[in-house]
Amino acid sequence: MIREQHSIYLDYAAATPLDPRVRLAMEPYWQEDFYNPSSPYMAGRAVRRDIEAARARVAHWIGARATEITFTAGATESINIAIHGVMQQFSGASMVTLGTEHDAVLQSAAKYRHAIAPVKATGAVDMDALEKLLADDVVLLSIAYANNELGTIQPLPRISQLAQKIRRDRQAKGNTLPLYIHTDASQAAGFLDLHATRLGVDLLTLNGAKMYGPKQTGVLYCKAGTRIQSPFTGGGQEGGVRSGTENIAGIVGLATALDLVQEDRHEAHAKYMALRAELQRRIVEALPHTTVNGDLKHRLPNSLHMSWPGVDGERLVMWLDEHGVMAATGSACAANKQTVSHVLVACGMEDSLMQGSLRVTVGALTTPEDVSRAAAYIIQGVTSLT
């Protein structure tokens, strides 16, 4: 991967560069193998086989059947299909989600009767409060595997156990409504186990752009038997769930990227934790009034979210950018709207800390030298802007 000279990129939660091995896998489908995979002739059938091979590789990492994998145009589309596809099946039913979820989840949930489960200051779901909200009419629970701002990892297996208990109680009462669990695992790929059965989820979202794959590529895993109605109409591609001529290069690129990050995830986990720990150590030692946010035990290994009272986070990001360090105050979507992070609001963070927050995420191109230089700039920036 190529990096801009003298710059330090620390916003891997927003976007990752395309892995050269992924680009190489995609290249044939831009010109030589451009055929429509729905075509009846041999060349079309050949690219259809490549799509199905990619589907099988993705299914492998999710512990799924190939028929349970749908390729989409990104995580937002995958999330919309999951939520609308379920909720449209059950008139009058409701769903539950968290206030820390991506806008794609929150805005989709807003179309239906829904409840927002509270989170702790760390961003972790309050399990007792969640249980109370899972009323008899709830058919969908949507909780991100790992938060895109704080890096907090949610206890999906515990949540699944709770859902199983509720399903048994419903069965005993003669309530035939299902209770499905959807998780947005976009930030988790390359760091965590994605096996759907072990996680206990019925629907799972992935995003190629977050794992060194192509942008505008995504996956929706839908467990067999899950009632879902596609919001799309068209030619019936992707099992009728996501009609439209398939993006062959993107599909092959996403599958290749997923192979690479999942095969290397244990090594990457250790590398990123060491880089993150050194960056955090340097900053906290120099700025002891630093607040490190999120769940410090259960967070992604590359994620560091910090706050300083009296600092304007937006000004700090601009100051760092002028000095060649690319970081963010939160998610790219929220930053683009110049709004206060709804994630930090949901966590109950004090206004002064919300305004003075910074998210840095290390990645494949980050070096120890980058960490040293970035820490020095962050320290200098916070000091000068206080």
Q: Using CA atoms, how far apart are residues 321 and 22, in angstroms rounded to an integer?
A: 29
Residue 259 sits in the same domain as residue 138: yes
Residue 249 sits in the same domain as residue 369: no
Residue 256 sits in the same domain as residue 271: no
Residue 114 sits in the same domain as residue 259: yes
Q: Is residue 254 a part of any domain in this protein? A: yes
Q: Is residue 1 a part of any domain in this protein? A: no
Contact, 327 vs 360, CB < 8 A? yes
- CATH number of the CATH domain containing 54: 3.40.640.10
Structural domain boundaries enclosing 86: 20-263
* Pick from 275, 251, 246, 294: nearest CA to 367: 275
Q: Is residue 259 a part of any domain in this protein? A: yes
Number of domains in the chain: 2
Helical ranges in 63-183 per DSSP H: 75-87, 103-109, 127-133, 156-173
Q: Is residue 331 a part of any domain in this protein? A: yes
Residue 254 sits in the same domain as residue 285: no
Residue 46 sits in the same domain as residue 146: yes
Question: Of 199, 229, 263, which closes a domain?
Answer: 263
Residue 292 sits in the same domain as residue 215: no
Torsion of CA 370, 376, 381, 383, to 10 degrees: 160
- Burial string for 312-321 (b: 16+ CB within 10 Å, else e) reads ebeebbebbe
Q: Is residue 3 a part of any domain in this protein? A: no
Q: Is residue 181 a part of any domain in this protein? A: yes
Residue 194 sits in the same domain as residue 327: no
Q: Give yes or no: 333 in active site.
A: yes
Give me the catalytic one of 287, 326, 333, 376: 333
pLDDT for the residue numbered 219: 98
CB atoms within 10 A of CB 211: 25
- CATH number of the CATH domain containing 274: 3.90.1150.10
pLDDT for the residue numbered 245: 84
Take residue 370 and report the two structure tokens written for it. 């980058």
Contact, 253 vs 247, CB < 8 A? no
pLDDT for the residue numbered 330: 66
Residue 258 sits in the same domain as residue 277: no
pLDDT for the residue numbered 338: 56
Element (H, E) at 52: helix 42-62
Residue 95 sits in the same domain as residue 31: yes
pLDDT for the residue numbered 2: 44
Residue 215 sits in the same domain as residue 153: yes
Q: Is residue 2 a part of any domain in this protein? A: no
Q: Is residue 218 a part of any domain in this protein? A: yes
Residue 97 sits in the same domain as residue 219: yes
**Alpha-carbon separation of residue 351 from 290, 291, 307 (angstroms):** 15, 13, 11
Question: Of 263, 293, 324, which closes a domain?
Answer: 263
Beta pairing, strands 303-307 & 291-292:
antiparallel
Question: Of 263, 286, 318, which closes a domain?
Answer: 263
pLDDT tens-digit map of 194-208: 999 999 999 999 999
* Pick from 369, 333, 355, 339: nearest CA to 75: 333
The residues of the chain scoring below 70 in pLDDT are 1-5, 330-339
